[in-house]
């Protein structure tokens, strides 16, 4: 079955700098990749997603890139702000099913 | 603008008791998913249901765990004879179904077993 790895597990950046979180997946048939932000005591909140027929997608300060050949996708946050501090999860939709396989999460700290 | 509603938010049970977790999907969503999250870990898929049907229960333990999504009312995740290892956050998500439809999550039920 599908397996998703996520790096780094923790990331500290200065306010205004960029943050990059990387994920790899194992099943080349996977075709949908959402990213979630989880704040303390809350559920995961969808922040951006990408389909396998697209190489990049951007929404204001957030962008996601997908390299199907290498089977990896990345989240890019520019001009980070303290409110970006949270745990971020990547996921891949398991091919042939609707279930998501999640990475282990990245704890992002934006230092003021 | 009601999102996915889960209750209770916190649930404490003693070993051997039963736990019932409820999930009301977003309006217009007929697909429900349950995930479990252990501290400092990612979410693990448990079960996927549509109204009155279990579609995929490959992530749910065969014993003590069951799930339902009746024609009327919320989806229920039921854990019988709870053990300490069942302590976790349980999240429900919903979607309208179909390819490329993102799952939207509730704020979870934190289950603690004494």
Per-residue burial over A17-31, b = 16 or more CB atoms within 10 Å of its CB, e = otherwise: eebbbbbbbebeebb
Cα–Cα distance for residue pair B112/B114, rounded to 1 Å: 6
CB contact under 8 A, B100 and A102: no
DSSP tag of A42 = S
CB contact under 8 A, B107 and A44: no
Report the gap between the CA of B68 and the closest CA in chain A (Å): 17
CB contact under 8 A, B43 and A32: no
Residues 80-99 in A contacting B (C-alpha not used; CB under 8 Å) = 89, 94, 97-99
Q: What is the pLDDT of residues A5-36, one digit of tens each?
A: 999 999 999 999 999 999 999 999 999 999 99
Cβ-based neighbour number of residue B54 at 10 Å: 14
Per-residue burial over B59-75, b = 16 or more CB atoms within 10 Å of its CB, e = otherwise: bbeeeebebbbeeeebb
CB-nearest to A42 from B35, B48, B107 is: B107
Q: What is the pLDDT of residues B11-20, one digit of tens each?
A: 999 999 999 9
Q: What is the pLDDT of residues B54-90, one digit of tens each?
A: 999 999 999 999 999 999 999 999 999 999 999 999 9
A58: which strand partners? A63
**Given CB atoms, is A54 within the 8 Å cutoff of chain B?**
no
């Amino acid at each position: 079955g599908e397996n998703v790895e996520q790096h780094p597990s923790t990331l500290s950046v200065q306010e205004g700098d960029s943050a990059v979180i990387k994920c790899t997946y194992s099943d080349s048939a996977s075709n949908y990749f959402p990213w979630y932000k989880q704040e303390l005591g809350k559920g995961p909140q969808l922040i951006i997603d990408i389909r396998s027929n697209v190489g990049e997608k951007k929404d204001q300060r957030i962008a996601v890139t997908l390299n199907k050949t290498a089977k990896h996708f990345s989240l890019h946050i520019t001009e980070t702000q303290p409110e970006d501090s949270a745990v971020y999860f990547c996921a891949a939709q398991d091919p042939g099913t609707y279930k998501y396989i999640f990475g282990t999460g990245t704890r992002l700290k934006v230092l003021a | 603008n009601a999102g996915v509603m889960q209750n209770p938010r916190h649930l404490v049970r003693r070993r051997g008791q039963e736990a019932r977790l409820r999930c009301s999907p977003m309006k217009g969503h007929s697909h429900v998913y349950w995930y479990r999250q252990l501290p400092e870990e990612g979410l693990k898929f448990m079960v996927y249901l549509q109204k009155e049907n279990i579609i995929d229960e490959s992530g749910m333990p065969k014993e003590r765990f069951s799930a339902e999504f009746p024609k009327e009312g919320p989806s229920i995740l039921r854990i019988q004879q709870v053990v300490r290892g069942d302590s976790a956050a349980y999240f429900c998500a919903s979607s309208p179904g179909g390819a490329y439809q993102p799952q939207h999550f509730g704020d979870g039920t934190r289950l603690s077993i004494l």
